[in-house]
Chain A
Amino acid sequence: MSNNQKHFIITDYLLGGLLPLLAAMYPVVFTYATNAEILTLSSLWAILGLLLAVAVVVYLLWSLLLKKKPYTAALAAFLFMVLFLTYGSIYKLLTKADLFPVRHFNLLPLVILLGGYLGWFASKLSAEMSKKLWMVLVSLAGLLVVFNLVRIVPLELQKKAQASPISPVESVAATQDTTGKPDIYWLIFDEFSGFDVMRDYFHYPEIDDFVADLENLGFRVVENSHASSYLTLHQIATRLNYEQLPADLSEVAYYGYISNNKVMSELKARGYTTVVMDEARSATFAFQAKTAINADIQLDEYVKSTDTSSTMLFGSFGLLVARQTMLDPLTVYYNLDDEGIARHRDTVYFVADELGKLDLPKPKFVYSHLLLPHMPFMFTENGSYLESPYYHDWSHYLGQYKFTLKIILQAARTILKEADPQNPPIIILQSDHGARNLGTGDSGQGGLVDFPEEDRTSIMYAVYAPACPDMPLADGINPVNTFPLVFNCLFDTEIPLQ
């Protein structure tokens, strides 16, 4: 064989490999493109790398079996990869159809055998026909991959443009006269229903004991306050900019409003140190693509999970893709929950016990957003842990809500205990929206029966502000006024209320 011929064969083998590789890429880029607004690119590489490695191995095996027929081997590998990548969906479809017992141990060998036979049939094609088919398929797969990349790239550029450089603490304007300015804490508890919903829907009259506890601490409790939507990002963006934003913007648009918001700009200009603990971004089950808020200090890094028993190779995105493939049977052994849940648990306790003790330059504005009592429903009312099958079962919402009441009181007490009595802080306790009863469809787990639509927007709203005894906090007030009320009192601004 001449050098030229060798060169051509090597080129054919390299080209042939494109087809299984593109097949392996497609589900990853498609799933990523569909969820790009809430994911980060870093979640993509591990699962993409693994599927590409599988494609290479399959192609090499077929190349060994079908010697000197690179395009036929590519076709055989492609057919096997199609089965590999759709196995999880086939399994779910057959399980749902319920025509015969379907388990991984009986279905997997059947599908692998089918893949082998399809490759065998492909080997009967002539070299010319194989090459033609290869060209058609590689063009189609390439187009599909490129189409999804085109969907991804602009979003990634937009996310990158919104990412704010985090300023060091030293950059806080030291020239401002901050004497006598109180610390401000804004504590958001995600999915925390208003007290009226607790009384009327959940039949939990003991909520009034909690209200009394808050009042005894010096809080003013607002009743019947409703958010303008039940969308977390919309609500946070609206309140941080004291502007009623449309509720139908894209997630990425809200990221921008939240990252560079009016509230923190105003406070920074007045010499405040801005501090953020944002679980809506850092939690594994939240908006991972959310850009960091432009603040002096990000507290998420302070919370170090004590659970080091598992390592995160795939993350939730990788798992989502893996569950569509032949990796599905292995996913039950991949305990994604461990690390994300441990971190969430540690963040909850950090807010309860440590947030008020942080020794940071004063005055400071602390924004804490805890995904509690939001799913996963992992706490019982006494703080013991539920197992993962219950994480999305709404019958455990009330228990987690009761646990949240304890966390709120603990956090408030810690802040007040550590505060300067001569210059007490302002503490705002709120939820973004109420219980929404979401995510009860596909999982088949229990939802809240006859849950009223209007209860979804019912929120908690309580304010501790001894420096502002005349703050016009009326029942039913719109939470868009949260910061205008504070600023009008502290800085004599005259922001109109809505």
Chain B
Amino acid sequence: MKKSLSKYLVPVLIAVATLAYFFISPIVQQKMALRASSLTVVSEPLPPVTQDARMYVDQIRLSNVKDEVYQMDGWGFLILDSKLAPTDYERTILLVSDTEVFAIPTTNVPRKDVQKTFEQLGLDLKDSGFAGVFPMNAIPRGDYVISLLFTLPDGTQARYNSKFELAKTFNSMQLVLKDNPK
């Protein structure tokens, strides 16, 4: 009995170690990918949600196959009496779940169509588009409300929630309209 146990101990241990590696290594990779990316974990309380803003998420698309980096495209702006244009303040994409909040820096994207659609607001919305990139594997599994965080030149912040959620599973990710079933 003892002999046969010791005979199989090494193969069993190797199998257990490989299985443990199978399940643990993706968790480690997620932490490493998060650290290496431009994503930040938001630990401070979020600013209040404003209704004086508009935003839309057009798509998430794979922009780098090797590293599984995705780009989120959309537009968003604040409606302020001061008529500030989106280029006058900072916009950050927030992915908000029940337990975690991630922030993705954005770049400005020209959107003449948005300018035309919201002409009656009298705002300069030529560059109201935004794009933010993030590696898929840096984000843990969960459902994330997609919001925009607006940071004004004086440091005040406001947040606007979109109608979209990012549904991240173990191996995939998709954009979901909140009212629709996944």
Binding site for B on A (CB under 8 A): 95-96, 98-103, 105-107, 109-110, 113, 117, 120, 332-333, 387-390, 393
B51 interface hit (Cβ, 8 Å)? no
Among B19, B26, B169, point to the contact of A103 (Cβ < 8 A): B26
B26 & A101 in contact (Cβ 8 Å cutoff): yes
CB pair B171 A332 closer than 8 Å: no
Per the bound structure, the CA–CA distance linking A101 and B68 in Å amounts to 14
Which residue from B15, B18, B23, B170 sits with its C-beta under 8 Å from A98? B170
Bound Cα distance A181, B25 (Å): 73
> What is the total of A-B residue contacts with beta carbons within 8 Å?
52
B15 touches A117 (CB 8 A): yes
What 10 A-B pairs have minimum CB-CB distances, sorted nearest first?
A: A101-B26, A389-B62, A95-B171, A101-B170, A106-B25, A106-B22, A113-B18, A332-B66, A98-B169, A110-B22
Measured between beta carbons, the chain B residues less than 8 angstroms from A113 are 14-15, 18
The residue in chain B whose Cβ has the minimal distance to the Cβ of A101 is B26
B99 CB–A CB distance under 8 Å: no
CB pair B171–A98 under 8 Å, yes or no, is yes
Contact in complex: A389, B22 (CB < 8 Å): no
Known: A110-B18, A113-B15, A117-B11. A102 touches B66 (CB 8 A): no
> Which of A101, A103, A105, A390 has the most C-beta atoms of chain B within 10 angstroms of its own C-beta?
A101
Kindly state whether residue B38 has any CB partner on chain A within 8 Å: no
**Is B37 engaged at the interface, CB distance under 8 Å to the other chain?**
no
Interface contact A389-B63, CB-CB below 8 Å: yes
Shortest CB–CB separation between residue A105 and chain B, in angstroms? 6
Q: Which of A95, A96, A109, A390 contacts B21 (CB 8 A)?
A: A109
Q: Given the interface contacts A98-B169, A105-B25, does A332 sit within 8 Å of B65 by beta carbon?
A: yes
* Chain B residues numbered 141-182 whose CB sits less than 8 Å from any CB in chain A: 169-172
CA A101 – CA B63 in complex, angstroms?
21
Shortest distance between the CB of B6 and any CB in chain A (Å): 16
Whether a CB of chain A sits under 8 angstroms from the CB of B83 is no
Closest CB in chain A relative to B15 CB, distance in Å: 7
Q: Which of A96, A98, A113 has the most CB of B within 10 A?
A: A113
Query: How far apart sit A95 and B65, CA to CA, in the bound complex (Å)?
Result: 16
Report the bound CA distance from A257 to B66 in whole Å: 43
Q: Which residues of B contact A333 (CB under 8 A)?
A: 66
Contacts of B26 in A (CB 8 A): 101, 103, 106
A102: chain B residues within 8 A (beta carbon)? 170-171
CB contacts (< 8 Å) of B172 on chain A: these are 95, 98
Chain B residues with CB under 8 A of A390: 61
Partner of B171, one of A101, A105, A389: A101
Known pairs A106-B21, A117-B11; list 15 more (Cβ under 8 Å).
A98-B171, A99-B170, A100-B23, A103-B26, A105-B29, A106-B22, A106-B23, A110-B18, A110-B22, A113-B15, A113-B18, A332-B66, A389-B61, A389-B62, A390-B61
Q: What's the nearest-Cβ distance from chain B to residue A396, in Å?
A: 11
CA distance A332 to B29 in the complex (A): 19
A104 to B92, CA, bound (A): 32
